[in-house]
Structure 1
Amino acid sequence: MTLLAAIDDVGRDRKRGGYSRHVFEPAERQLREWFVEEAQRRDMAVRCDRNGNLWAWWGEPGPDAIVTGSHLDSVPGGGAFDGPLGVTSALEAVDTLRANGFTPVRPLAIVVFAEEEGGRFGVPCLGSRLLTGAIDPDAARRLHDLTGVSFAEAAVEAGLDPARIGRDDEAIANIGTFVELHVEQGRGLIDLGAPVGVASSILAHGRWRFTFTGEGNHAGATLLGDRRDPMVPAAEMVLAARIAASEVDDARATVGRLVPNPGGTNVIASTVDVWLDARADNDPDTRQVVTRIQELATDAAARENCELNVVEESYGGTVVFDAGLRDTVSSALGGVPALPTGAGHDAGILAAHVPTAMLFVRNPTGVSHAPEEHAEPDDCQAGVAALATVLGRLAG
């Protein structure tokens, strides 16, 4: 917890509460500088790859490396643990191994992935998607934040060459095994009475932007019968998300962001953008939920004489983590429980390319992506010890 406490004041959001640390913005860049300093203090060589991901190496970089790490960015108004706990625990696990006289036989690295949350440019796990070729570089360059800054422009400001972003075969070839530690996002471990667990799978999930287009007009001078108000079908779509998700077992559908244009109190909006997050146990169920929401939203738009356009901004199919590696990790930790997660992670992107495992640290309330996110100090230390044990087993 010492390292986590050292960054406690970075990126605090006085308006929302919690933290807002978005890729290449001042708070996140301060955290990146902090990570470089901490890694160098441990005599780890640090480099930034072409996609903005940071790599700190214990020993010479090379193939078949054991890689751990997470991310430092956050959702708007997020908690203190989501992402940074995995990074600080990795650094502290290196300290533990060295204190025990361990020297890795295989190369060992800590990675900090860029834009895992998609809090600035909208696409989650952007750094790992670019690394593995899971997103087209041109599409990534065209992404824009809320102020109109493109990812390409932000990359230049951060010292990257946007022309070089994209699949990095050399970096992928260096990863023999990836292990990510993360605070649990849910109540599985508290109910199981375990401080640490391993991940078995990740739900299929994606993000879609629904754009309703009507006619901007005066709120007082326009009769109800004369309106083409896109806010009406947008509101119906929020309810449609709950209806559609309730029709599929264990599905989840959420509208967490809605932006009217121009956004005046006494103005009928001309357009309304609504972002949908949908998740379910498998790809067909997730697609079924989204299709149902789109059908209901289309009908609502037609009733108000509005138009609807839907764009899929990101999607990740069901991830089942390498069973052999999962069992090896669990066994090394004395048989800790395995459980699925509804949250996406960079580990889920890498799992299609290299053997990948995840460790979860118990979250007593299950709350995440909010200021109330928490893990007890003793559980965090248990996570560090578990990660050190796993890294020592794999890299020894």
Structure 2
Amino acid sequence: MPFTEEDQAAREYLLHEMHSIGLETRVDEASSVCGVRPGNTDKSHAVVMGSHYDTVINGGAYDGILGVVCGLEVLRVLHENQVQLSKPVELIAFNDEEGVRFNRGFTGSKAIIGHVTDEDIWKTRDRQGISLGQAMQQAGFDPTLIGKVQREPEQISAYVELHIEQGPVLEAEQLDIGVVTTIAGTWRTFVEIIGRPDHAGTTPMHMRKDPLVAAAQLIAKLPGFAHLVDPQGVATVGIVNVEPNVANVVPAKVTFSLDIRSQFGGAARQVTARVIEEARSICGDQLECNIRMAMEEEPVHTDHHIQQVIEDAAKENGYAFKRMFSGAGHDAQIMALLCPVGMIFVPSRSGRSHSHLEYTTPEAIAKGAQVLLDAILTLAK
């Protein structure tokens, strides 16, 4: 998790690997690890590879970090073969993409585009009440300097991210490469329903103000809400906290997360609004319903030119591919607000991700890395 001892160990490892292939390295104040191979003639307009090195609780070994490792391998090949390119090639390993600790996500990439605010830093807190800013300070970073992380559009000419698909499509269709065209938008909300704690044995059912019953009624309706606007839209409740969480007490308060995703602009927002409307209707005047928005990210389309570069690389290597959208969020969707972006997917076995069963074969990884290398050679020449 971000800003922990394990997190620091990961940064030290990445810096060691970057140094070993002659990269100019630094760790920015958002804890992203950056390694640059200078260009021959163009000292700015870097071609950037990137992904994240944080993960979810009980997650696998491929989500995010695979893109970082493949980026390292591309730079190793360039270094060992003394390949000369006009533009700089940079690898950025972002931190806190998942948002597991602070329930916001994309801290590293949002800092790059200048979208981390003082409110984000000091009012966003983990379950222990530690703010993002305090966690940064404890890890040796200065949150007052996070503004210095921001890049300008003229500094980056393209961003390319390799990632596991995190879904079953490529494997099911026996394809090697996914060329991502759209990254789904995500609206993440926390719903708090407050009732009245009472004795579980002596309070008649019709006299209870039970927030858990209301939450359950709403959650059961989510499958219907998910497809209101987008037939491929999804809705997920991944966190449920019940207070006081005691077997013989009618709950006093329930807080749960609501994650709505869609490939269509405005769709996740519309579904979220409809779910909130339903929540207030279920609660009526017997229960208090409070809403807190945690993430509002609209869908992003990848750059058509970079899509074609990735597709051409797959064709030249004889790899089977398809154009597809991503239901998961990625740092690429944040970087798209700064520069043209592209994404390469490699297959996930059985579509598993955010699980210890996450797996991608070495052969599939090698094909993805080859496509990434060829794309970088084209974009940075």
Instruction: State TM-score, norm by structure 1.
Output: 0.89
Contact 2:235 2:259 in 1 (8 A): yes
Q: CA deviation at 1:91?
A: 0.8
Runs of 4+ in structure 1 over 4 Å off: none
In the aligned structure 1, how far is the partner of 2:109 from the partner of 2:153? Answer: 10
Contact 1:202 1:318 in 2 (8 A): yes
> Which one of the candidate residues 67, 72, 81 is aligned to 1:91?
72
Aligned residue identity for 1:272: V
In the aligned structure 2, how far is the partner of 1:129 from the partner of 1:169? Answer: 9
Contact 1:65 1:176 in 2 (8 A): yes
Contact 1:260 1:273 in 2 (8 A): yes
> Which one of the candidate residues 253, 269, 272 is aligned to 1:271?
253
% identity of equivalent residues: 30
In the aligned structure 2, how far is the partner of 1:276 from the partner of 1:293? Answer: 9
Contact 1:240 1:296 in 2 (8 A): no
State the partner residue of 2:281: 299
Q: CA deviation at 1:23?
A: 0.8
CA RMSD of aligned residues (A): 2.0
Please give the secondary structure, in 2, of the residue aligned with 1:115: coil
State the partner residue of 1:392: 377
Which has the higher mean CA deviation after the structures are superposed, 89-98 or 148-157?
89-98
Contact 1:332 1:393 in 2 (8 A): no
State the partner residue of 2:312: 331
1:199 matched to 2:180? The reply is yes
State the partner residue of 1:19: none
Contact 1:97 1:392 in 2 (8 A): no
> Which one of the candidate residues 312, 321, 325 is aligned to 2:302?
321
Aligned residue identity for 2:258: L
State the partner residue of 1:13: none
In the aligned structure 1, how far is the partner of 2:62 from the partner of 2:34? Answer: 20
> Which one of the candidate residues 336, 342, 350 is aligned to 1:357?
342
1:48 matched to 2:33? The reply is no
1:367 matched to 2:367? The reply is no
Please give the secondary structure, in 2, of the residue aligned with 1:238: helix
In the aligned structure 2, how far is the partner of 1:29 from the partner of 1:231? Answer: 39
State the partner residue of 1:17: none
Aligned ranges 1:96-135 → 2 under 5 Å: 96-135=77-116
Aligned ranges 1:146-161 → 2 under 5 Å: 146-161=127-142
Which has the higher mean CA deviation after the structures are superposed, 129-138 or 338-347?
129-138
Q: CA deviation at 1:135?
A: 4.2
Aligned residue identity for 1:377: P
Contact 2:152 2:338 in 1 (8 A): no
Gaps of 5+ in 2: none
In the aligned structure 1, how far is the partner of 2:205 from the partner of 2:147? Answer: 50
1:217 to 1:323, Cα distance in 2 relative to 1, 3 A: same
Contact 2:182 2:263 in 1 (8 A): no
1:133 to 1:169, Cα distance in 2 relative to 1, 3 A: closer
Deviations 1:137-196 (A, max 9, x none): 322331111111110100101111112224744465422211111011212322442212
Q: CA deviation at 1:130?
A: 2.6
1:281 matched to 2:263? The reply is yes
1:141 matched to 2:143? The reply is no
1:27 matched to 2:27? The reply is no
1:383 matched to 2:364? The reply is no
Contact 1:71 1:113 in 2 (8 A): yes
Contact 1:200 1:321 in 2 (8 A): yes
Please give the secondary structure, in 1, of the residue aligned with 2:61: coil
Q: CA deviation at 1:288?
A: 2.5
1:216 matched to 2:197? The reply is yes
Which has the higher mean CA deviation after the structures are superposed, 292-301 or 134-143?
134-143
Please give the secondary structure, in 2, of the residue aligned with 1:82: coil
In the aligned structure 2, how far is the partner of 1:298 from the partner of 1:167? Answer: 42
1:340 matched to 2:325? The reply is yes
Which has the higher mean CA deviation after the structures are superposed, 34-43 or 280-289?
280-289
In the aligned structure 2, how far is the partner of 1:56 from the partner of 1:134? Answer: 22
Alignment coverage as a number of residue pairs: 374
Q: CA deviation at 1:268?
A: 2.4
Contact 2:32 2:92 in 1 (8 A): yes
1:231 matched to 2:216? The reply is no
Please give the secondary structure, in 2, of the residue aligned with 1:333: helix
> Which one of the candidate residues 222, 227, 243 is aligned to 1:241?
222
Aligned residue identity for 1:76: I
